[in-house]
Amino acid sequence: MYGAKVFVGLDIGADTSVACMTDALGVVLAEASIVTSCQAVLDFVACRPMNNELEIGLEAGSMGILLARRLREQGYQVHLFGTRQASQFLKIRQNKTDTNDARGIADILRIGRSVVPAVHLKSAAIQQLRSQLVLRQKLVTHRVSGEGAINSVFRLNGGRLRTSRSGTGLQRNVQAELQRLREIEHIDLAPDVEPLLDICVATRRHLESLDRRLSKQAESIPVCARFMEIPGVGPITALSFYTAIEDPWRFRRNGDVGAYLGLTR
């Protein structure tokens, strides 16, 4: 139909994806298995009827975010949908296949946006900063687990690991406790503990370096600098909130921010 909207649903895979194009009535205009790349999507949408407005939809997975950003740079209307919410809508179809999922995403664009709202696409800079915070949290979890394992070995043999504030302090405290256990308990735990200690010390030192970088970044962002004037708010908290919200004007009311973060009453 001349001038009518055309909807393209993309089921994104690591190497290949399935694209489905439908009209405003849900009639399939084209389907294809394509390489997961911006150029492949551009080649696919080039077959749409001329002068028809085009909207593209895909799930907000790790592959979809970069693809959506590149398609928007090309001037297309691209909508990202939350993976969990979209999967509930896609379950309506009896047979779950990549082709049916692509059709389902096109249907979300066409009739389901009141049920499956679009999610915010973060800018590349905010996404990189958010990734650094996620990696930092992974390293913190790894550090706590490793040091907890060392402390457990010490306790089983009558020792205790003192609290350390740096990688150098951790190495000094562990070596001191190993020496004490050798002299008093007559047990040598170095072959078991030292390999794990090397990993924990390296993790601590990388975290210290990462925290310094993140602190400088927080100070260079005016919004984060103002956040850190609040008692108890440091660089990590300020950056976490800043990257989670990014654009405050996308919320109609300030009360919506709490609900977005899961802080509901």
> Distances from the Cα of 82 to the Cαs of 48, 79, 85, 120, in angstroms?
26, 10, 5, 9
Cα dihedral value 19, 20, 23, 24, nearest 10? -90
Q: Which residue range(s) make up the domain with 147?
A: 124-221
Claim to verify: residue 14 and residue 101 sit in the same structural domain: yes
> What digits encode the pLDDT tens for the residues 182-191?
999 899 999 9
In-domain check, residue 208 = yes
The Cα 82–Cα 111 span in angstroms is 16
Is the alpha carbon torsion for 107, 109, 114, 119 positive or negative? positive
Claim to verify: residue 144 and residue 78 sit in the same structural domain: no
Tokens of 132: 């650094």
The Cα 23–Cα 48 span in angstroms is 10
* pLDDT computed for residue 2 by the predictor: 52
Residue ending a domain, choose from 119, 143, 168? 119
pTM of the model: 0.82
Q: Give the phi and the psi of residue 68 in degrees, each rounded to 5.
A: -60, -40
In-domain check, residue 137 = yes
Claim to verify: residue 166 and residue 135 sit in the same structural domain: yes
Residue ending a domain, choose from 119, 145, 166? 119
User: What residues contact 24, with CB distance under 8 A and at least 6 apart?
Assistant: 1, 4, 5, 6, 7, 110
Claim to verify: residue 214 and residue 129 sit in the same structural domain: yes
Claim to verify: residue 148 and residue 98 sit in the same structural domain: no
Claim to verify: residue 86 and residue 181 sit in the same structural domain: no
Nearest to 133 by CA among 236, 223, 228: 236
Provide the domain count of the chain.
Answer: 2
Per-residue pLDDT of the chain (265 residues; tens, 9 = 90+): 555 789 999 999 989 999 999 998 989 999 999 999 999 999 999 887 766 789 999 998 888 899 999 999 999 999 999 888 888 888 887 788 899 999 999 999 998 877 888 889 999 999 999 999 999 999 999 999 999 999 999 999 999 999 999 999 999 999 999 999 999 989 999 999 999 999 999 999 999 999 999 999 999 999 999 999 999 999 999 999 999 999 888 888 888 888 888 887 6
Is the alpha carbon torsion for 65, 69, 70, 75 positive or negative? positive
Instruction: Report the CATH number that the domain containing residue 78 is assigned in CATH.
Output: 3.30.420.40
Strand, helix or coil for residue 17: strand
In-domain check, residue 16 = yes
In-domain check, residue 246 = no
